[in-house]
Amino acid sequence: MKYKFRLAPIAYDGWKFIVGFAFLGFLFLFLGLWFSKLVGALCVLSAVFCVGFFRDPERVVTRTEGLLSPADGTVLEAVSVDGEGFGPGRVIRIFLSVFDGHIQRSPAAGVVKSLTYQPGVFLDARDSRAPFANESNSIEIETEKGRILIKQIAGLIARRIVCWVAVEEAVQPGERIGLIRFGSQVDLYVPPEVEILVREGDKVIGGQTVVAQWPSVRLAQQGEQAETTVPAKG
């Protein structure tokens, strides 16, 4: 499924909620009864909430040789793993509250090699069991430097995962690749040699925060630092 057009800076998938709540809100308010006014006000507030939740503004994507955050949110943890559909590596788990934008973006340029949907339950996204038990969709991307995997994980409220890319499709850094409706979690899996640049509690922004660094980039930076510290001869 390709990313659909936007009407204003709002994801296409959000308009049915916004229009639906707004229509019901004004309908109940028009009735003029005390209880209908209360229901109408709640519906209008829900429409306003959905505008914020499904916001999808254009972003200036950070130019980097590292890996960008795949989502807006808060880092739950960054740990080593062996399995979870990736094998030996490291994972950065990001919690998306209902107040975070819920668009997922590609951390780097590459080609989508596989999509794996896994049915499951809907535990709170902050639950340590959520990455293994909840409904999820994994997007494997082969980059020039190595393989990475983005896992979209539904949460307690989130009941719908949307993926906008297909197998063998090329993606660019910061490109929109999916959406999860309402509170959720997004995990980024990287090879074990990759250096993690974030830690628990850090706020990250999809397509802008650099969350990890390939070893070749780290070695190049160390080499540049060494050159600047070599004393002059003579």
Average pLDDT over residues 215-228: 56
Q: Are strands 161-163 and 176-180 parallel, antiparallel or unpaired?
A: antiparallel
Is residue 161 predicted with pLDDT exceeding 50? yes
* Euclidean distance between CA atoms 41 and 57, whole angstroms: 27
| 134 secondary structure, DSSP code | B
Query: Which among 106, 136, 138, 184 is annotated as catalytic?
Result: 184
Which residue did the predictor score with more confidence, 120 or 168?
168
pLDDT in tens, 48-62: 888 887 888 888 999
Q: Considering only 105-114, 149-158, 216-225, which range has the smallest mean pLDDT?
A: 216-225
pLDDT in tens, 16-48: 888 998 999 888 888 877 788 899 899 999 888
Is residue 90 predicted with pLDDT exceeding 90? yes
Q: Is 106 annotated as catalytic?
A: no
Average pLDDT over residues 160-186: 89
Confidence grade of residue 6 (pLDDT, cut at 50, 70, 90): low
Of the candidates 228, 140, 152, the residue with the CA atom closest to the CA atom of residue 190: 140
Confidence grade of residue 13 (pLDDT, cut at 50, 70, 90): confident
Mean per-residue pLDDT of the chain: 84
CATH architecture of 67-216: Distorted Sandwich (2.70)
Confidence grade of residue 5 (pLDDT, cut at 50, 70, 90): low
Domain spans of the chain?
12-53, 67-216
Which residue did the predictor score with more confidence, 28 or 196?
196
**What's the pTM value of the predicted model, to 2 decimals?**
0.81
CA max distance for the chain: 91
Confidence grade of residue 151 (pLDDT, cut at 50, 70, 90): very high
| C-beta of residue 177 within 8 angstroms of C-beta of residue 104 | yes
* Neighbour-count burial of 48, counting CB atoms closer than 10 A to its CB (0-12 exposed, 13-18 middle, 19+ buried): middle
Angle formed by the axes of helices 15-31 and 34-53, to 10°?
160
Which residue shows structure tokens 């628990």?
200
Of the candidates 205, 231, 167, 204, the residue with the CA atom closest to the CA atom of residue 78: 204
